[in-house]
Amino acid sequence: MSALVVADKVGCWYGQVVGLSELTLTIQGGITGLVGPNGAGKSTFLKLVAGELRPARGDIRVLGHAPFANREYFRRVGFCPQQEAIWGDMTGLEVVEFLMRLSGYAPSEARRRAHAALDRVGLLDARTRRTAGYSKGMRQRTKIAQAIAHDPELVVADEPLNGLDPVGRAEIQKLFAELGAAGMHVLVSSHVLHEVEALTPSIVLFHRGRLLAQGPVGEIRRLLSRHPRRVELVARDARRLAAVLMALEPVSSVRIAADGRVAVETGDVERFFRELTALAPRERAGIRSIESHDANLESVFDYLVG
């Protein structure tokens, strides 16, 4: 089976800010979850996949197409963007119907598809009300409806569960599962791992515009827990401290930098800090400061699994 998405050294910037950096990635079909904290690059990646943006560098192919401004490709994809905005002076039904008309359907067919999609996402009575009065969840359902109404091969959904109550989340998760079971490919992003985990075991983890990990969620959890993290310490007697730290089990390497800082790499940061707390007063190494340089990575991990 050919890959659904093939990204080759894709780079994307927003002025001076990096959206994606040298991203090389292949995604197979089915349901795939994109996970990462805010600003990790998930939305940028999905905008590239949806054809809203084009890469500044590298190449991206989805369903064999270069997505940006590709009309042939747009027939095969449905995009539910992250932003809440929809036309406030139209009803939910009118929004979906209008977009179906733009997808090339005749008026009656566009209306039929709009009703069917709104039924599917559970937007019932509210569909004939103006969207300006919609709750966040209703807007989310309308956005999802317009993305699936034309039965695309691929649905790209950026944070589709945002703003939905627990029941709504469960319904939309069930809907995506049904779409996947029906043979539709789904790319769905979230900054909460367990949300995506409920949908699919196949995830892609982004961090700071880069691919951090990809694969089954269980494997990624294990990978994250084994990821070495670096801690830097400033002490009165750096050599003595380095010698003591070398003896600790969670420490994999110790290095004394030119400025006298002791750089420690550990595979189990929690255990390292526990043992450090115990030995510091005993050894009288005169520790003045402790800095964890991979704190952000830790927070990513904690956030995702927390």
Please answer whether residues 208 and 41 qualify as being in contact, where contact means their C-beta atoms are separated by less than 8 angstroms.
yes
Pairing, β 251-256 against β 287-292: unpaired
16 lies in the site for other proteins, by CB under 8 A: no
190 lies in the site for other proteins, by CB under 8 A: no
Residues in the chain, total: 306
133 lies in the site for other proteins, by CB under 8 A: no
Please answer whether residues 214 and 222 qualify as being in contact, where contact means their C-beta atoms are separated by less than 8 angstroms.
no
**Which residue is it, tokens 């049904």?**
178
Nearer to other proteins, 104 or 216 (CB): 104
Residues 6 or more apart in contact with residue 17 via CB below 8 angstroms: none
Strand partners, 11: 57
Please answer whether residues 102 and 178 qualify as being in contact, where contact means their C-beta atoms are separated by less than 8 angstroms.
no
**Near other proteins by CB under 8 A: residue from 26, 28, 59, 87:** 87
**Near other proteins by CB under 8 A: residue from 74, 206, 272, 301:** 74
Tell me if residue 78 falls in helix, strand or coil.
Answer: strand
Nearer to other proteins, 69 or 170 (CB): 69
Distance CA 171, CA 28 (A): 25
**Near other proteins by CB under 8 A: residue from 16, 72, 108, 289:** 72
**Near other proteins by CB under 8 A: residue from 77, 145, 187, 285:** 77
Distance CA 98, CA 108 (A): 11
Interface segment toward other proteins; rule CB under 8 A; list 74-82, 180-188, 220-228, 295-303? 74-82
14 lies in the site for other proteins, by CB under 8 A: yes
Nearer to other proteins, 50 or 212 (CB): 50
187 lies in the site for other proteins, by CB under 8 A: no
Nearer to other proteins, 43 or 214 (CB): 43
| Min CB(108)–other proteins separation in Å | 15
| Min CB(78)–other proteins separation in Å | 9
295 lies in the site for other proteins, by CB under 8 A: no
Distance CA 82, CA 281 (A): 51
Please answer whether residues 249 and 272 qualify as being in contact, where contact means their C-beta atoms are separated by less than 8 angstroms.
no
Nearer to other proteins, 39 or 122 (CB): 39
Nearer to other proteins, 107 or 215 (CB): 107
Nearer to other proteins, 130 or 230 (CB): 130
Which helix (H) or strand (E) covers residue 225, if one does? helix 217-226
Long-range contacts of 248-255 (CB under 8 A, 24+ apart): 248/272, 248/275, 248/276, 248/279, 249/275, 250/275, 252/228
| Min CB(14)–other proteins separation in Å | 6
Beta strands in 146-292 (DSSP E): 154-157, 185-190, 202-207, 210-216, 229-235, 251-256, 262-266, 287-292
256 lies in the site for other proteins, by CB under 8 A: no
Mark residues 22-61: x for contact with other proteins by CB under 8 A, - for none: ---------------------x------xxxxx-------
Interface segment toward other proteins; rule CB under 8 A; list 102-110, 195-203, 231-239, 283-291? 102-110
Residue ranges binding other proteins (CB under 8 A): 14, 43, 50-54, 68-69, 71-72, 74-75, 77, 79, 81-83, 85-87, 89, 98-99, 101-104, 146
